[in-house]
Every structure is written in C-alpha cells, then in structure tokens.
Amino acid sequence: MKQAFHLLAAILVSLGICAPTEACLWDYETLAMERQRFPNALELITGHFLRHSREFYQWRVGDREQRLRETQSSDLYDDLAVAYDKLGDHDKAIAITLQKQEHFRGLYETHANLGTFYIHSGQLELGVQQIDIAISINPDAHFGREAYQKHLVNYVFSRQTDGTTNLPLGSERSGMEPAGFCSYILATQNIGDSADAGAAELSKAMKGVLGMMRFGNHDSPILLEVLGDLLLSRAHREDAKRLAARAYLKASYHAKDDATREAYRRLAKKSLSMQTVHKDTKSELSLEALELKFSDELADASSWFKVVADDEAKWIRGGENVDEVFAQKYYQEPELASPTNTWFWVFLVGALTLILLCLTWIILRRTAAARKSIAT
C-alpha cells in the first residue's frame, strides 16, 4: 500500500500536479512534534524567553557610566554599548565601542559588537567589514553565529533594489522546495546535490538565526522571515509548517505597511498547505484557526515577561544591584538527577515493590493455610 502511495505521488509530480520533495503529501505532525525538532523556536517567536526590560538597560547605562569613571574595563564598555543599542541609540553604541577600541585593541568582542551595531544602524557594508574581522579572530565563537549574520546581510544586499530593502525579501514559493534564505544559503555555500550536506548547512543556519533573535531583536521582520524560510524547508524532510506560519504571522505584525503585512500573511497561509488539523483527519488547518492559538501564546509570553519587567523595575526603585538580584532569581538552573542516580532509584523502587509483593503473597499463603488447618 505504501509503495503504491509513493508511486502515485511520483506520477503526480511527473505530471506537474504537485511539487517535488513530497510537498504534496499531507502533514499530520503536531506543534509538539515540531518543537521537539526545533527547540526554543516558539519561545523566540513569541518572546517567551529570558531577556531584559527597557528600564533595565536604562539602569545599566547609568551604572556602567559610573563604573567606567572609576575603572577602565573592556567588559564595562561592552555592557554600556549593548545597553545603548538595546535602547535604539545605535550611533551612541558605535561611538562607545570605538572609544573602547582605543584602550583595548584586537578583541573579538569589539569587532563582533561593532559589526552588529553598524548593521542595526543601517550601515551594512561597515557591519560586514567588522564581522569579517571578528570571524578572522575567532571563527568558532558563538557557534559561528557571525558567519550567518554575514550571510544574512549579503542576502539582504542581494534583494535590494536601488539600495532599498523591500519586504518580504523572498518571493512567494512555488511548491515547498527550498526558497528564500534557504535557497540563498544552499546556492552560495557550494553544497551541490548532497542532501546530507544541505541539511547540515541549514541546521547551522537555523542555529545562527535563532541566536540572532535571542541576543538581537526577536521582533525583527527580517529575522522572523528567514526563520520561517528555514522552518519550512523540506531539504532534509524536517519542515515545521505550524512554526513557520507563526514566524511569518509575527513578521506581519511588525510590518510597516499594509502591502508588506498582507504579503507575510500570504506566506503564512501558504505554509499551512496540506497541514491537517490533527492526525485523524485530512481537514486542512486554516490560518485563522492557527492565529487564534498564536494569539493566546503571544498573550502568555507578554504576561510572563511583564513579571520579569516588574521585578526589574522594583529592584531599580529599591536601589539594588539589578545584575546580581536578576541572576539570583532567573539564572539559577534546576538541579537534575544524573542518569546513574535516576536508574539507581528506579531499580531500588522496583526491588522494594517486588519484595513487598512477595511478602504479601507469603502472608496470604500462610493465612490461607492457617484457616484450612483450623477448619480441619
């Protein structure tokens, strides 16, 4: 039956009725299954991850400026520059980093941060130059995130018209073949026809983009768009239609005009082609139904982050060292039992249960024997 089904799919492909790479097959996977393959993607799309409030970065500006008046430290310069960048003052972040460079030369962090600040300020060429320097100093830092930051900037360059960046960057796909940022990565990295090499490269790109969202701007339409492209790629048979649709939808929420917003919504809708509501039906999941769930997820993320922001505001009002109290509350990881200890306790509980059952059986046997003896 399965062979006949695949034969039918091949015939349909040959006739042009559906696209290659099994794009015409129904997708029964759930959001939970997609999240297992792409951990943290939903959290980064919705903003449900550990980060700081605007008030925190305002506090950090004052704190780091005061401490820099007392001592020169490369880390203090970095903290101050990042704080200004997070507050949207990219020119100030650049100026502080250039000032740091006068005192501390040849540091990877200086060039990596400077490249990011230039990119955020729209000076893409200068940003790429600094990223190249950072990569030459430490190519493996941040799991190679800077390399994919450079690829992303070059992808933006390739989509510009007369120096203007129009969103979405990628055109609407035909079928489900690699498109947008995926096709750009595969074409420029000399992957060839190797499916394994393509899968490995797209996996690295995914890790890089998720890292940019975590440490940069998770609401950036460009980052959300390329994340959607990567999630939707079937180059290695591991797409995630529900997550991709959410990424495109979130990009539409931050679009600056109606045309861009509608274009992202079309991408989101097309992502769900042949995605079922659940595994026991071929009823296609609608964008409207998914958006209702996504709205709840965004509300949950907003409520969660409000608690963090309220904590930071309270600590600032109380004159506390926000770095320290934040770390005490939010950076402490739960202690997990080691695999050895886990299996020890499983064995112990099992052994005790077996002993208890044996004792119960012996007592019942003796009770029955005693009753029989009395009866006779």
Which of 249, 250, 283 has its CA nearest to residue 266? 249
The pLDDT score that the predictor gives to residue 112 is: 96
The pLDDT score that the predictor gives to residue 335 is: 46
Distance CA 84, CA 60 (A): 9
3-state secondary structure 34-82: HHHHCCCHHHHHHCCCCCCCHHHHHHHHHHHHHHHHHCCCHHHHHHHHH
Rama region for 178: left / alpha / beta (φ>0; ψ in -120 to 50; rest): beta
Contact indicator for 89, 72 with CB cutoff of 8 Å: no
Distance CA 202, CA 160 (A): 23
**Per-residue pLDDT for 52 more than 60?**
yes
**Number of other residues whose CB lies within 10 A of the CB of residue 10:** 12
pTM of the model: 0.81
The pLDDT score that the predictor gives to residue 16 is: 40
What are the strands, taking DSSP E only, across 185-313? none
**Per-residue pLDDT for 165 more than 80?**
yes
The pLDDT score that the predictor gives to residue 144 is: 74
pLDDT digits (tens, 9 = 90+) for 299-334: 999 999 999 999 999 999 999 999 999 999 997 644
